[in-house]
Structure 1
Amino acid sequence: MSQSITRDNFDEWMMPVYAPASFIPVRGEGSRLWDQQGKDYIDFAGGIAVNALGHAHPALNRALKEQADKFWHTGNGYTNEPVLRLAKRLIDATFADRVFFCNSGAEANEAALKLARKYAHDHTGPHKSGIVAFNNAFHGRTLFTVSAGGQPAYSRDFAPLPPGIRHAVFNDLASARELINDDTCAVIVEPIQGEGGVVPAEPAFLRGLRELCDRHQALLIFDEVQSGVGRTGELYAYMHYGVTPDLLTTAKALGGGFPIGALLASEACASVMTVGTHGTTYGGNPLASAVAGEVLTLINRQEVLNGVKQRHQWFCERLQAIGQQTGVFKGIRGLGLLIGCVLDDRYAGRAKELSMLAAQEGVMVLIAGGNVIRFAPALIISEEEITAGLDRFTRACERFVSGGSS
């Protein structure tokens, strides 16, 4: 007989670095999940912008099972067909000439920052090692990437941190200009700050960063871990802005729920990484690569990307109405299906409370700090699921502003 599992077991057995919801999902289909008691939830969280095609998508299931019946893993002493096909798809669809595969967004960003320092070391010298990042950014949880992320709450307990990283104000080109100089090897930026509050970059800001990097021979890194793979209505957000980086990191939605990350690079940048300079045991394994290849095939189609833009309108129109009806929000921002609702000042710091009420009503949402409710649903979520989910969210907002939990 299998062991009975409850939410209390998390508190007994797991390292307490998360505070998960009170329910345990056990089954999913499309944009719905069911918990152990059979209650259904409409999923507007998308596994934190991961489940771009929803849950249990039949094409992804088929790709995984077909590869699982062949072989799972060999290590990086060998290559495989799925990873080579995936690399070619990414190269054909983007600015990139070369790809490095890993297992997560943090690893992709770690690889990008290492590459940037090696590029500067090889072309200029060891003094050119400075990295400019931005306040309220999030680039991962490794020591290097948590240092680049401009959120001290995530890094201050792990000092001493890697040196040579300075933070400018996001969307403030003058602030960046003060820090970027000839000793800068890289500038890393999210086209849309996700964890930092769902804040899109202004086009002039990204254009200015591109110009500053060119002037000072620094590499421009776009962290598209959250904004990539169709999330904004373009395959990658740099296409929306018309600004091309030297390096781009991608993960989350790339595997549709199966762990995979990638660093995309121009030929000139990639050439500094030679045998032995970097690596990963699991990166580019055939299982992840087969699934990610199917994800790209399904998402990188104009009808899907246009559908993201249409769904953005559906969400924003209804969320604006909810805000007017309840007074809970003072603004809505974002691109595509990465949307943030900023709480009115009266409710500052209470986003988690509202998200928990939403779960009670049967809809899963995210937060982005204490003041923003974040939506990152499947890119193909149906209009009916959007309507039903926002009906549930409306009830949660009404309970929230009335101060009631019943």
Structure 2
Amino acid sequence: MAGHILVLNTGSSSIKYELVDVRTQERPARGLVERIGEEKGRLTHRTGDGPPYEREQSFPGHGEGLDAVMEAFAAAGPTLDPVAVGHRVVHGGTRFTEAVLVDDGVIAAIEELAPLAPLHNPVNLAGIRVARAAFPEVPQVAVFDTAFQLTLPPEAYTYAVPREWRERLGVRRFGFHGTSCAYVSRRAAAFLGRDPAGLNLIVLHLGNGASATAISGGRSVDTSMGMTPLEGLVMGTRSGDVDPALAGYLARVDGLDAGQVESALSHHGGLLALAGTGDMREVRGRDDDTARLALEIYTRRVRKYVGAYYALLGRVDAIVFTGGVGEHDAATRAASLAGLDRLGIAVDPARNEAGPAGERAVSPPGAEVSVLVIPTDEEWEIARQALALISGGS
């Protein structure tokens, strides 16, 4: 099948988009609408290496934002005639195990799942609704971040909480970053020249959001994020693992309610809480005790999960770094795996620090466990899944 798929990643105040050629994986256009709902918004539309097409105006809602995207394509090209529109949806619960064609029933189900991802699912739906209105005859495909993680076995997804919570309220581990994990695990197998069915991998998606995922034979068997994206590693603004009794303690001693605690842990925790900024580049660029402690806490948490997942898998063929930090921060990669030599895990300093962009090994030649850097491409993964669905898997 020839043509283009428009991939939309709708955030609370932004619309990230890419037009993907289904034959070549090339991106004839990509762009970002930001500060939706604020007084001064911006659209940046790129078509190649030349100067971008830019507009600054108010975008009261996502409808106006997508209207501006359509106008950008009309003004700066290329012609927009997609064969499908692919949407990133954060939470699919246990219902959506793979990409689906969007209809009214799917929209209702995503709405029902909004309490599990109140910051994400509603705005994902806003993008779907706007795109359905803009392209009423074009298939809309929802790709769920949780779908890849639904292969977790019961012993991995079950929390030791009251049965009623699990059965009536659906409390369990879901895991996220599944779209990224699906892509990089497949690419890692290709890089190693191995069949994915015979590989054990630990994928470290380190960005503003961060997670570790243990993958055996192409299937997720454990992951650090939980019922929500808050559990696990230290992130840009999310705390990661804390004592569950923290909310009760803060309620007793400071009068905070559950919503205030959840908001603080999600938006004012992580590197932001430790170093005053959630941007790893800014933390890395400083030379003070606060920044050094933040970096040690961050990398120590990653190292702890790597060790745990090594024990769980029994054998690890490769550790895969991806995400903005994982792909670009050599010091974080080295510190996250420091001291694991006896497990066959090591980072070669020269390869790690001087490696070219793109897919590469940063472990020593002949290492027992390969350490890889695989740039993620969630947009292509969304387009690939959408194409497979509308073409019947061909």
- Asked if TM exceeds 0.5, the reply is no
Question: How high is the TM-score relative to the length of structure 2?
Answer: 0.30
Question: How high is the TM-score relative to the length of structure 1?
Answer: 0.30
